[in-house]
Amino acid sequence: MTGAGIRQMQVIRVFAIALCLIGVTLSPLRAEEVLAPPVKPDNLNAPQADAAPPVLGDLLGGNAVPGSSTPVVPYAPAITPDAGMPDQGTESPVYMVARLSDDGPALTQGVTWRVYRPALNQNGRLELVATARGGDADFRLPPGEYFVHTAYGYAGRTSRISVRNGLTSQTVVLNAGGIKLDAQFSGNQPIRTGRLVFDIYEREYNSRGERKVVASNIKPGDIVRLNADTYHIVSRYGAVNATVRADIRVEPGKLTEATVFHNAARVTLKLVNQPGGEAIANTNWSVLTPGGDTVVEGTGAFPAFVLASGEYQVIARNEDKLYSREFEVKTAAHGEVEVLTSSLLKQ
C-alpha cells in the first residue's frame, strides 16, 4: 500500500473513534448500571452485595438515592472488629427481681436496690454506682463484678453479680417476712390511752452483753418487714416502767401477728387541801417503790404517768413541805391519786 493509502486509513480510524466518543457523551449510563448488574423485576427488594454505599443523609432518612431505582439498605450499627457484633457501647443490661421466699411471688413495690463496686474508694468505702426503687430493677452497667444490696423495709441481703456482655438477670431471695404487733390490757381490754410503742431487738447478745436494736418506736398495727429470724420484742406503754417482753419468730414469706398484754394503768397526781379539791400548783413529785427506789419524778399541778400494776409511795414537795401517800395501781384502772396536805411528813 502506498503512503497516501496508509494516511487515508489512519484518518478513517480516527474519525470512527471520535464518533464512538461522541456517542458515550450523549448517552450516559445510570449509576446503578455501572455499579451493579441488572436486577430482575421480581427481585427488586433483594439487597445487592455490590451496590454503591448511599450517602449519610439517605441512611438517616431511609430514602433511595436520587435518580436510582435500587433501594437503600436500612442503616445498621458499625461492626466491631474484635467481636463481629454491632457496637452497643460499653454497658450491658442487668435485670433483677426480689422475692421474700423461694416460692413467693416477685415483689412489685417497696424494694430499694443499691449497686456498689467491690473495690474500696479513697475514703475506704464501696463506691455506689446505681440505685433503683420500686419492684424489679433494670440497670445498665459496664461488664465486671458488683455487690448489690437489696432492701425491703428492715429486711436486706447483699449479693454479688457478674456482669458480662449481653443481658444479665438474677433473682434475689430475701428469706424475709413481716411482723404486725399489738398490745392489750390483761383480760383482752383494748389500750386507748397513753403512748404505746414497740422496739425490736436481735435475740442474741453481743460481746458487751447488749442486744442490737433492729427497729424502734413501732406503732401498733404497723407491718415491719424483717429477715426471717427470732427477735426480742419490747412493748413500752408510757415512759416509765410498763414494759412487756417477748421472743417472736418471723417466717419467710409470711406475716406474723402478735399481741402482748400489759398490766398497767394511767394515774394523775394531785396535791389538794381536801378530797376533790383544787390541785395546788408548783408541786414537785416523786414516785417510789415500797423499798424506796425512785420510779419517776415530775413537776406541776397534774402530772400523769403510766405505771405498771403494783404498790407505790408518792411524795409531794410544795413550799419546802413534804406530803406523802401510798397507793396501788390496778390493771386498766385509770384515775387520780390525791395527796392531802394533812399528810404532812415530819422533817
> Where do we find the cell 470512527?
16
Contact 143, 155 (CB under 8 A): no
| Cα distance between residue 24 and residue 20, in whole Å | 7
Pairing relationship of beta strands 155-163 and 126-134 according to DSSP bridges: unpaired
| Cα distance between residue 228 and residue 251, in whole Å | 5
pTM of the model: 0.70
- Residue 267 confidence (pLDDT) above 90: yes
Residue 278 pLDDT: 96
Residue 29 pLDDT: 27
What is each CA distance from 40 to 22, 36, 48, 69, 196, in whole angstroms?
30, 12, 12, 12, 87
Q: What percentage of residues in the chain have a pLDDT greater than 90? A: 70
- Mean pLDDT, range 298-305, rounded to an integer: 97
3-state secondary structure at position 59? helix
- Mean pLDDT, range 178-189, rounded to an integer: 96
Residue 121 pLDDT: 86
Pairing relationship of beta strands 126-134 and 196-205 according to DSSP bridges: unpaired
* Selection from 207, 215, 344, 206 nearest residue 280 by Cα: 344
pLDDT mean across residues, the chain: 80
Beta bridge partners of 328: 311
Question: Within its chain, how far is the Cα of 194 from the centroid?
Answer: 33
pLDDT tens-digit map of 23-52 = 333 333 222 222 233 333 333 233 333 333
Residue 345 pLDDT: 84
Delineate the domains of the chain, giving CATH numbers in brackets: 3-61 (no CATH), 92-174 (2.60.40.1120), 178-262 (2.60.40.1120), 265-340 (2.60.40.1120)
